[in-house]
Amino acid sequence: MRYRVLGGTGIEVSTYCLGTMMFGAIGNRDHEDCERIIHSALDRGINFVDTADMYSSGEAEEIVGKALRDPRRRDDTVLATKVYFPVGGEGPNRGGTSRRWIMQAVENSLRRLGTDRIDLYQVHRPDERTDIEETLDVLGDLVTQGKIRAFGCSTFPAERIVEAHAVAERRGLRRFRTEQPPYSLLARGIETSVLPVAQRYGMGVLTWSPLASGFLTGKYRKGRPMDLGSGRPTINPQRFDPELPVTAAKLDAVEEFTALAEEIGCTLPELAIAFAAAHPAVTSVILGPRTQEQLDGLLKGASLVLSDEILDRIDAIVPPGTDVYRADGAWQPRSLTDPTARRRPAGERAAAD
């Protein structure tokens, strides 16, 4: 296993990070099995574990906490979690990145994780309701209090990252040290701005969904029946509808990548995670197995290094900066999701006419 420094923090993390989204109610419900998977990853050189308070409504954090209850394991593990999505009930203030919610959410995460500190605390999505200065201020306070060691953002567009750094510099606040974006052979959009911006600010980058929500596992192939009864399709089956043009585009690219992987003597998942780790801006690639078998398969490619020739051939299939699809779960601004944000009121439009 190789190790890299995380965004100028001095903290060394493994090139591959164990993601835990599939632990708990939406994936592997067997807590003891999930603990064994975590221990297996740690025993094989992974020292970086990423979770979030909203994964299975806190259950994933509880599983991670049980797996790291041995103080020696906890001390040797760089532990990351996230805040933003509502957890633990309904209400107008149970989510977001306000001081009020973050102060409550971090205590809940610490309790579920069974620890007194979080090594990397991440803002899970941009919050259009909260001034970024407010968010940076409270996160800095948590560093001072020793409850978190560093903080970062997740799935922020480049302009939001630049804004956050500008505010931090202007107000003398601590800044985001990391960004966690989606990145895969099928979703390369972040190469245009997000990764260059992260490099410019010396941020660590831990990427998620290297298998493109399952399309790069080799399980889904063009012209073959789709199993929608297990894995990611059970969460959002419409994303796997073969009649949709975007699904067809994914499957066409998968055929080409599968042929390339076979030619160089590796599996499609091994090619996928090696690709994500090859970019100079990427610090660590998050692997999100549901089973031990899946983890074993992914780690077989941990030592795979892609040559310039292979990377050039990948570029010919999906050009740099191109998204075959918009990564599942990626943040979209209100200006796109809310029609009222881009349309004048009907009365004003009629008056203008």
Which residues carry out catalysis? Answer: 55
Helix (H, G, I), strand (E, B) or coil at 51: coil
CA distance readout (Å), 164 to 120, 197, 207: 17, 12, 20
DSSP codes of every residue in 222-241:
TTS----SSSGGGT-GGGG-
CA angle 30, 32, 34 (to 5 degrees): 70
Helix (H, G, I), strand (E, B) or coil at 259: helix
Neighbour tally for 69: CB within 10 Å: 13
Distance CA 114, CA 108 (A): 10
Q: Which residues pair with 206 in a beta bridge?
A: 284
**Phi/psi zone of residue 214: left (φ > 0), alpha (ψ -120 to 50 degrees), beta?**
left
DSSP-assigned letter for residue 340: G
**Phi/psi zone of residue 99: left (φ > 0), alpha (ψ -120 to 50 degrees), beta?**
alpha
Distance CA 185, CA 181 (A): 14
Q: What is the token pair recorded at 124?
A: 């899970």
